[in-house]
């Protein structure tokens, strides 16, 4: 289905009838990334899979300001209202995790439990944010100049995704590659410019007052995001970290059965407030 939010058509898929679980994908992905987990989660949860702006079947528009974290969080709130959902469990991976945390910070009454896979609260200092913003601008320019195919080949070669080559079958890697190619230049470029880590709000100073139950899921081989999760855990009053052995940044792809069980266990074991 499509839900129009202030002139932008968001693609949303909904499965099941249980407690709402909002699923937010990573950069170059789409809501369809969560379809393999339907059989694991549909008996317990109503799954809401949203294509973030610039991704999947959601509109890929030219106006960069429409891609901001705040605008995206507002759009998600609108979508939940349209679906007559007051509050939900929220799971986000990487970019989707940053969106999920932003949504929870702005609309805490709408989030029952937050699950963040390989994600962060942004960057701590203005210097870090400026450097990242400049890097993301270069990447956006590269996408526009060289095209999607060239960018996807580069993106898949970065160290962050090295473990995919070791842990994913050739068939899975080929399918993932094709899904990444389905994106548009304007969508990915503007996603980097509008909701990249360098331009999003930094939530580090807000974590100590963040009361929502939060589960941080990381792969043991993803050393950078393990450190980020440990730092977040020191601040979160109601946080927990789950480290998955022999997995990298994409835990849900590299260890899907274990990941599916972690999500169910975490949401079943918490106490509703």
Q: pLDDT tens across 223-272, in order?
A: 999 999 999 999 999 999 999 999 999 999 999 999 999 999 999 876 54
Question: Residue 250's pLDDT is what?
Answer: 93
Using the structure block, give the residue that is written with the tokens 């998600």: 76
Answer for the pair 3, 79: CB distance below 8 angstroms, yes or no.
yes
Which tokens hold the place of 124?
A: 């701590």
- Stated length of the chain: 273
CA-CA distance, 245 to 222, in Å (whole number)?
A: 10
pTM greater than 0.85 (yes/no) = yes
Tell me the mean pLDDT in the region 151-164. 87
Question: Residue 273's pLDDT is what?
Answer: 41
Pairing of strands 88-93, 214-219: unpaired
- Per-residue pLDDT tens digits for 20-40: 999 999 999 999 999 999 999
| Residues 140/145/148/153 CA torsion (nearest 10 deg) | -90
What percent of the chain lies above the pLDDT cut of 90? 84
CA-CA distance, 215 to 257, in Å (whole number)?
A: 17
Given CATH 3.40.50.1820, say whether it is the number of domain 2-125+200-269. yes
Domain boundaries, the chain: 2-125+200-269
Give whole-number Cα distances, 15 to 37, 48, 76, 81, 246, in Å.
11, 7, 17, 17, 31
The DSSP 8-state label assigned to residue 172 in this structure reads H
Question: Residue 270's pLDDT is what?
Answer: 63
- Per-residue pLDDT tens digits for 123-152: 999 999 999 999 999 999 999 999 999 999
Give the orientation angle of helix 95-106 with respect to helix 185-195, to 10 degrees.
50
Asked whether the predicted pLDDT for residue 167 surpasses 90, the reply is no
Asked whether the predicted pLDDT for residue 171 surpasses 50, the reply is yes
- Please list, in sequence order, all residues whose beta carbon lies within 8 angstroms of the beta carbon of residue 233, skipping any fewer than 6 positions away: 216, 239, 240, 241
- Per-residue pLDDT tens digits for 58-101: 999 999 999 999 999 999 999 999 999 999 999 999 999 999 99
């Amino acid at each position: 289905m499509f839900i129009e939010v202030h002139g932008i058509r968001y693609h949303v898929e909904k499965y099941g009838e249980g407690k709402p679980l909002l699923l937010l994908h990573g950069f170059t992905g789409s809501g369809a990334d969560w379809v393999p987990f339907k059989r694991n989660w549909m008996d317990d949860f109503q799954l809401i899979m949203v294509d973030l702006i610039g991704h999947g079947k959601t509109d890929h528009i030219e106006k960069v300001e429409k891609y901001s974290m705040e605008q995206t969080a507002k759009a998600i709130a609108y979508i939940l209202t349209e679906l007559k959902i007051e509050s939900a469990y929220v799971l986000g991976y990487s970019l989707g995790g940053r969106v999920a945390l932003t949504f929870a910070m702005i609309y805490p009454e709408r989030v029952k439990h937050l699950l963040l896979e390989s994600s962060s609260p942004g960057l701590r200092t203005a210097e870090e944010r400026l450097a990242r913003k400049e890097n993301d601008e270069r990447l956006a320019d590269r996408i526009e100049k060289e095209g999607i195919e060239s960018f996807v080949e580069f993106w898949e070669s970065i160290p962050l995704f090295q473990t995919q080559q070791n842990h994913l079958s050739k068939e899975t890697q080929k399918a993932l590659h094709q899904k990444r190619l389905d994106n548009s230049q304007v969508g990915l470029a503007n996603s980097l410019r509008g909701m990249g880590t360098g331009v999003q709000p930094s939530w580090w100073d807000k974590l100590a007052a963040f009361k929502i139950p939060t589960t941080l899921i990381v792969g043991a081989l993803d050393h950078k995001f393990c450190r980020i999760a440990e730092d977040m855990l020191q601040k979160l009053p109601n946080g927990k970290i789950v480290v998955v052995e022999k997995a990298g940044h994409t835990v849900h792809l590299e260890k899907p059965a274990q990941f599916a069980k972690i999500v169910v266990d975490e949401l079943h074991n918490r106490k509703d407030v």
